């Protein structure tokens, strides 16, 4: 196999793995971070600054708004946006709860022996159990491709389909008059 091709395939594999990196809900981080450029949705402000981490110094490439599609321990899903540093060498995403709350002037984060509850500025609350291996509260990410597939599936479920399912005989929660009214709507 061509060494350059192998390196490219290895690089693509690493990127695919990085897209599956969970997000640590960090009560101590001063700024959210991501190693994944595709998380970025906002205006990019380039940077070339060092940042000290547990395993040494890395370079911040830029700061921007990121969007993450997250799922909590109960399976509740949504997206959240945060201002974050892009650090390609990082091997984790961090969500800085306090930086996000400060930016939005809203939100909360509580901890107890069972896990954490994160309430975002949009007032959605999410529960995160502690990871069994590292005791960190971690959000599972949902790829934007998956979100797009779900959206396309939902879009293909037409208004007529919904109307038909509401008025079917097996749907006993509505009276006949209510079903007729739904069809008129």
pLDDT tens for residues 67-82? 999 889 998 888 899 9
No. of helices (H) and no. of strands (E), the chain? 5, 10
Other beta carbons within 10 Å of 141? 19
- 55, 66 Cβ separation under 8 angstroms: no
CA distance 22 to 9: 23
Other beta carbons within 10 Å of 90? 20
pLDDT of residue 141: 81
Residue 47 has pLDDT above 70, yes or no: yes
- Model-level pTM? 0.66
- 63, 37 Cβ separation under 8 angstroms: no
Q: 3-142: what CATH class? A: mainly beta
CA distance 144 to 4: 29
Residue ranges, CATH 2.40.70, the chain: 3-142
- The token pair that represents 115 in the structure block: 């896990």
Give the pLDDT mean for 170-185.
57
- 10 — pLDDT class (breaks 50, 70, 90): very low
Residue 120 has pLDDT above 70, yes or no: yes
Burial (Cβ within 10 Å: 0-12, 13-18, ≥19) of residue 25: buried
């Amino acid at each position: 196999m061509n060494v350059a091709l192998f390196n490219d395939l290895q690089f693509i594999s690493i990127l695919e793995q990085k897209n599956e990196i969970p997000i640590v809900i960090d009560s101590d981080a001063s700024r959210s971070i991501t190693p994944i450029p595709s998380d970025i949705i906002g205006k990019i402000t380039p940077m070339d600054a060092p940042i000290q981490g547990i395993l040494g110094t890395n370079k911040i490439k830029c700061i921007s708004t990121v969007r993450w599609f997250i799922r909590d321990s109960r399976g509740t899903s949504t997206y959240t946006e945060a201002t974050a540093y892009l650090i390609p060498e990082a091997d984790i995403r961090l969500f800085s709860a306090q930086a996000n709350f400060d930016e939005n002037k809203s939100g909360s984060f509580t901890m107890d022996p069972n896990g954490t509850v994160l309430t975002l500025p949009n007032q959605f609350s999410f529960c995160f159990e502690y990871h069994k291996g590292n005791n960190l509260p971690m959000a599972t990410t949902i790829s934007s491709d998956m979100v797009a597939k779900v959206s396309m599936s939902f879009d293909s479920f037409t208004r007529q389909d919904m109307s038909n399912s509401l008025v079917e005989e097996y749907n006993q929660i509505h009276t006949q008059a209510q079903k007729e009214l739904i069809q008129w709507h």
